[in-house]
Amino acid sequence: MERKSLMATSSGVWSSEAPSNIALIKYMGKREGNIPCNISLSHTLNKFTTRVSLEICSGKDDFSNEIGLPQKSVDRFLEHLKRIKYRYNYGGFFLVKSFSNFPHSAGIASSSSSFAALTMCSLAAICEIKGVNLPSPEEMSRLSREASGASCRSFFSPWSVWNGDGARKIDVKIGELNHDLALVDSRPKQISSGEAHRLVTSSPLFEGRSTRAEKRFGDLINSLNNNKWSDVRQICWEEFRDMHALFETSSPSFGYIQPKTTMILDMVEGFWRVRGDGPVVTIDAGPNVHFLWRKDQNELRTELKNAILSMDNLIQFM
């Protein structure tokens, strides 16, 4: 199993930790059951994690006083726990606690890590209580997808592909990359990712989106496996621009890009022109910029980070 659950069974407490992930080929638009309209490829962000713990409790329902999310999100969290208990015919109740080491609802896929961790933890607890084997990571991935689509990719590291009802690990020759996040704005976004998936279907650019994503997926895998870093950068750049163009042309239109986001992207383009090398960048449904670096790029990584901070020292790197 890719992500291991940590269990303390003697006290009736279980805990699990799961990472976030960043998609380089995005999925935009989904069908019933959180089935994506197109294939996606993601890189696991092992430094951004959520830890969920469950403790057996008496009462008539599951409850939480330590999730730190808006009530709507807490309700969605507890509803997923009920779904899992129903599937595995378990009638007991839990006290649920959750903590993420990064901001939620800011375009950093906090739901991916939180729902993956909840899925792992609840299955670890219920399977041990009932004396049955844990399901496979692929089965856990499919179950987690029902609550949060992108969470299905957080069960595999460092690369995951999702196309259909669940994700799977995919071997990529380049291996694990270094990651930085330029935190432009940590506030919860006004348009949720779920709402964005609904709205983009009204964009005139949505027709053909699946075909474009499939083509970029194949090109990106080929470039990653053949160390064509400049091509990787270009494909990922075109892909996130494609997704944000859907936002800007939907009805009603909306967007996440802020002036500081644009400043950073302009600096990255200039860096590549001068150095002939640099990071792969991408942006999810939010204003914050993700940087992916090869292991041999530490000097360039420090140089660009310092250049960005010299322009605006209020930007936080994570």
CATH number, domain containing residue 98: 3.30.230.10
Asked if residue 281 and residue 241 are part of one domain, the reply reads yes
How many domains is the chain built from? 2
Average pLDDT over residues 8-36: 87
Structure tokens, 177: 């990359």
Asked whether the beta carbons of 49 and 113 are under 8 A apart, the reply is yes
Residue 49 domain boundaries: 5-169
Asked if residue 137 and residue 115 are part of one domain, the reply reads yes
Please count the other Cβ atoms lying within 10 Å of the Cβ belonging to residue 7.
15
Asked if residue 191 and residue 159 are part of one domain, the reply reads no
Sign for the pseudo-dihedral over CA of 137, 141, 144, 146 = negative
Domain-terminating residue out of 125, 144, 169: 169
Sign for the pseudo-dihedral over CA of 273, 41, 302, 185 = positive
Average pLDDT over residues 297-307: 98
Question: What confidence tens digit (pLDDT) does each residue in 43-101 have?
Answer: 999 999 999 999 999 878 888 766 656 666 788 889 999 999 999 999 999 999 988 88
How many CA atoms, within 13 angstroms, populate the side-chain half-sphere of residue 59? 10
Q: What pTM was computed for the model? A: 0.91
Asked if residue 109 and residue 65 are part of one domain, the reply reads yes
Domain-terminating residue out of 110, 134, 169: 169
Question: What confidence tens digit (pLDDT) does each residue in 146-173 have?
Answer: 999 999 999 999 999 999 898 999 999 9
CATH code for position 198: 3.30.70.890
CA 78 → CA 45, 91, 107, 109, 118, distances in Å?
A: 25, 14, 22, 18, 9
Domain-terminating residue out of 169, 194, 227: 169
Question: What confidence tens digit (pLDDT) does each residue in 267-286 have?
Answer: 999 999 999 999 999 999 99
Asked if residue 182 and residue 301 are part of one domain, the reply reads yes
